[in-house]
């Protein structure tokens, strides 16, 4: 009934970003700051321990290091409103070896919570069983693997299917970030309701 | 004939030509290991890449930058008919880029179509999915590729080397000795 216009529409929302060494760093820093500017609390999760560092990459060059805020084994999808999976080729390749990481990702699908994955990020969705019969995109090298896993793949800057948001590359970050915010606004509990 | 038939000693691969196809991000020991071994056995090895001849490829030691290697032939100038075998090293970024090179995938596929030996290690087997050479094949790889290879129709197992027909696959740098021996066997058997 009442339209609330706020700069911080994601106040109270908690977003997990799951990643490890080899992450394409702009695919971490850009969604993180975009979501935080809108009021969300973002937590860097990893198979590494809290306080350890994740090595970022700018394509093939080593970039900055980012401190892990929570080990994924200590994290529960019920404590978050959405999950974001950045790319960087070595990052999802390493995550696929982590049972805790894959189980955590699967948990968001089970809970019907938004998952955003960009570039090589969607690779882990294959192991988590989320790609099957989903419409999605990714970095083009993953196309065949996603199709073989049962996905419908298209070459678009952002694809949204159910609660799954996927994009192809860093250039798509503006569209990706916007889609994440929309999904988070749709999440249960976001509705301001009559007394808001 | 009797002199050529059984070359004793270390020159069993005299006259054999082997292409190693790779690009930036290659796990360098998976290039230098097989290359050194095959050359010791007398084979002539050519570094083939989607990059131009004379350009350099950045090798990696896992996540750290390693050496650079000069490309000897652009893959678009390479004919599978001029080689007796193909070796595909790993390093996660290397096959990831090769998958986007139509010339590279076409080159790999032709080795399969001509039933020439293909040897792929670690992340190297990824490109075989795009080359449509894995369906119904017994193979191994770095474990992260297991689901992708199975989804593409392969029978994946966790062994240091798997040989199915003329396809040789291994899991990781530790498997290089067994991988090299299997390539040698495939090449030495070639008529």
- pLDDT tens digits, one per residue of A150-166: 999 999 999 999 999 99
Confidence at A6, pLDDT banded by 50, 70, 90 = confident
Handedness of CA A92, A144, A177, A182 (dihedral sign): negative
The chain-wide mean pLDDT, for chain A, equals 93
Residue B9 has a pLDDT of 55
Q: Which residues of A are catalytic?
A: 119-120
Q: Grade residue A4 by pLDDT with cuts at 50, 70 and 90.
A: low
Would you say residue B1 has pLDDT above 60?
A: no
Closest CA in chain B for residue A124 = B144
* pLDDT recorded at residue B2: 41
The residue of chain B nearest to residue A119, with distances taken between CA atoms, is B96
Q: Which fold has domain B14-189?
A: Rossmann fold (3.40.50)
- The answer on pLDDT for A60 being more than 60 is yes
Active site residues of B: 122-123
Q: Report the pLDDT averaged over residues A113-132.
A: 97
Q: What is the mean pLDDT of residues B53-73?
A: 96
- For residue A76, the model assigns a pLDDT of 97
Q: Do B123 and A93 touch (CB under 8 A)?
A: yes
A193 has a pLDDT exceeding 80: no
- List the end-to-end C-alpha distance of chain B, in Å, as a whole number: 13
Quick one: what percent of chain B has pLDDT higher than 70? 94
Topology classification of domain A14-186: Rossmann fold (3.40.50)
The pTM of this model reads: 0.92
Strands A23-24 and A41-46: unpaired
Residues 6+ apart with CB under 8 A from A174: none
Where do the domains of chain B lie? 14-189
Percent of chain A that is helix, strand, coil (3-state, to 5): 35, 25, 40
Question: Which pLDDT value is given to residue A195?
Answer: 40
């Amino acid at each position: 009934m009442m339209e609330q216009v706020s700069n911080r529409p994601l106040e109270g929302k908690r977003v997990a970003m799951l990643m490890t060494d080899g992450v394409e760093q702009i695919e971490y820093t850009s969604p993180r700051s975009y979501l935080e500017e809108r009021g969300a609390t973002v937590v860097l999760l990893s198979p590494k321990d809290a306080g350890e560092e994740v090595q970022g990459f700018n394509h093939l060059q080593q970039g900055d290091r980012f401190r892990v805020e929570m080990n994924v084994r200590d994290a529960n999808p019920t404590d978050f409103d959405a999950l974001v999976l950045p790319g960087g080729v070595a990052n999802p390749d390493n995550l696929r070896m982590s049972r805790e990481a894959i189980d955590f990702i699967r948990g968001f699908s089970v809970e019907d919570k938004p998952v955003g994955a960009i570039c090589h990020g969607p690779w882990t969705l294959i192991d988590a069983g989320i790609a099957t019969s989903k419409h999605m995109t990714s970095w083009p090298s993953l196309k065949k693997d996603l199709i073989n896993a049962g996905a419908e793949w298209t070459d678009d800057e952002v694809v949204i299917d159910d609660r799954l948001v996927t994009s192809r590359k860093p250039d798509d970050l503006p569209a990706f970030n916007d889609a994440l915010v929309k999904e988070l606004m749709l999440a249960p509990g976001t509705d301001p309701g009559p007394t808001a | 004939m009797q002199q050529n038939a059984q070359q004793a000693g270390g020159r069993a691969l005299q006259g054999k030509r082997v292409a190693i196809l790779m690009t930036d991000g290659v796990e360098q020991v998976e290039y230098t290991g097989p290359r050194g071994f095959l050359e010791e056995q007398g084979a002539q090895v050519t570094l083939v890449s989607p990059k131009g001849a004379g350009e350099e490829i950045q090798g990696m030691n896992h996540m750290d930058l390693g050496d650079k290697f000069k490309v000897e032939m652009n893959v678009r100038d390479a004919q599978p008919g001029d080689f007796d075998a193909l070796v595909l090293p790993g390093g996660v970024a290397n096959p990831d880029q090769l998958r986007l090179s139509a010339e590279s995938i076409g080159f790999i596929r032709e080795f399969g179509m001509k039933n020439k030996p293909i040897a792929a290690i670690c992340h190297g087997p990824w490109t075989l999915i795009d080359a449509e050479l894995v369906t119904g094949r017994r193979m191994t790889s770095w474990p992260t590729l297991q689901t992708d290879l199975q989804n593409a129709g392969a029978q994946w197992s966790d062994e240091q080397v798997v040989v199915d027909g003329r396809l040789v696959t291994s899991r990781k740098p530790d498997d290089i000795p067994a991988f090299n021996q299997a390539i040698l066997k495939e090449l030495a058997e070639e008529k």
